[in-house]
Amino acid sequence: MKNILIIGGAGYVGSILIPKLLKKNYQITCFDLMIYGESFLPKSDNLKIIKGDLRNIELLNKLIKGFDFVIHLACISNDPSFELNPELGKSINYDAFEPLVKRCKDSGVERFVYASSSSVYGIKDEQDVHEEMSLKPLTDYSKFKVKCEEILQKYNSNNFNTTIIRPATVCGYSPRQRLDVIVNILTNLGYHKKEITIMGGSQLRPNIHIDDMAEAYIKVLETDNKLISGEIFNVGYENQSVNEIANLVEKNMPFKISKKIIETNDNRSYHISSKKIFEKLDFSPEKNISDAVKDLVKVFEKKLFTNPLTNSIYYNVKKMNEINLK
């Protein structure tokens, strides 16, 4: 039985990934600050939950022993949360990274999988934004993702196989729900306000269903070293315009909603090609944006969320403002 450490495992993606790994009989340790709680994580003899800060090197040195794989999902997530406190963001997203990687390699970890971001490319005019293209990050959040990629590649070796994942924007239902990413935002507003407003609409956004995002990590874990060692993979599915996303939300509502478009000078588009992971690892997503919308609507209809329009538990920036993490 392989022993996996998931750093940031109690987050939006981690809370989908962990149950999938448990079903495959992996031994899991979830290490997380638990800002959003842990009650949504499954109960299992094969799951150990540890609350901690990855900046605590002493704690990590004690913890990281006997793991086969490490998946690093933890960060101050996305630009708005990072910009609330850039020093905090840097300390977690960048400063803590190399000591962690070094400890993992020294302790005998076989594989280290890092969740970077597709935002590292910046804005590209090319139709297929692939892994060999130049990186032009526009924000500090993205710049530190690039720096961490460079650090990790430096440590890659025959005995320490590293893989970098550059995810598209994740969408859909999770036990640790986020309602502050584009598909989820529009679905939440459409269902609860019966109206959605979009700025511009022609801007492209890459998306991937959260179930497929979790499956991509599993695919990397279960693929032979020679195919994943030192590799970088974009992971996305659909590059669709904001207007197309809004239309899908409208189409999948159980009632009629209205859509309002406001002109904007910010027409920046982001898009990626995930051809490499499809061809090299035979990974192909099985769900789409409509599936994500339908999944969220089902949960809304069951009233499983408390005050989904205002509750900070679903909004990273609101929550970070509340807790004033140092």
Residues 165 and 247 reside in one and the same domain: no
Look up the CATH number of the domain holding residue 213.
3.40.50.720
Across residues 179-196, what is the average pLDDT? Answer: 97
Residues 197 and 103 reside in one and the same domain: no
Reduce the secondary structure of the chain to three states and give it as a string: CCEEEEECCCCCCHHHHHHHHHHCCCEEEEEECCCCCCCCCCCCCCEEEEECCCCCHHHHHHHCCCCCEEEECCCCCHHHHHHHCHHHHHHHHHHCHHHHHHHHHHCCCCEEEEECCHHHHCCCCCCCCCCCCCCCCCCHHHHHHHHHHHHHHHHCCCCCEEEEEEECEEECCCCCCCCCCHHHHHHHHHHHHCEEEEECCCCEEEEEEHHHHHHHHHHHHCCCHHHHCCEEEEECCEEEEHHHHHHHHHHCCCCCCEEEEECCCCCCCCCCCCHHHHHHHCCCCCCCHHHHHHHHHHHHHCCCCCCCCCCHHHCHHHHHHHHCCC
Look up the CATH number of the domain holding residue 248.
3.90.25.10
How many folded domains does the chain comprise? Answer: 2
pLDDT single digits (tens) 197-254: 999 999 999 999 999 999 999 999 999 999 999 999 999 998 999 999 999 999 999 9
Residues 231 and 242 reside in one and the same domain: no
Residue 54 placed within a domain? yes
Residues 297 and 261 reside in one and the same domain: yes
Residue 295 placed within a domain? yes
Residues 54 and 155 reside in one and the same domain: yes
Residues 29 and 80 reside in one and the same domain: yes
Is residue 31 scored above 90 in pLDDT? yes
Q: Which domain holds residue 304?
A: 171-206+238-268+286-323
Confidence of residue 85 (pLDDT cuts 50, 70, 90): very high
Residues 201 and 155 reside in one and the same domain: no
Is residue 68 scored above 80 in pLDDT? yes
Residues 214 and 199 reside in one and the same domain: no
For the question of whether the overall pTM of this predicted structure is more than 0.95, the answer is yes
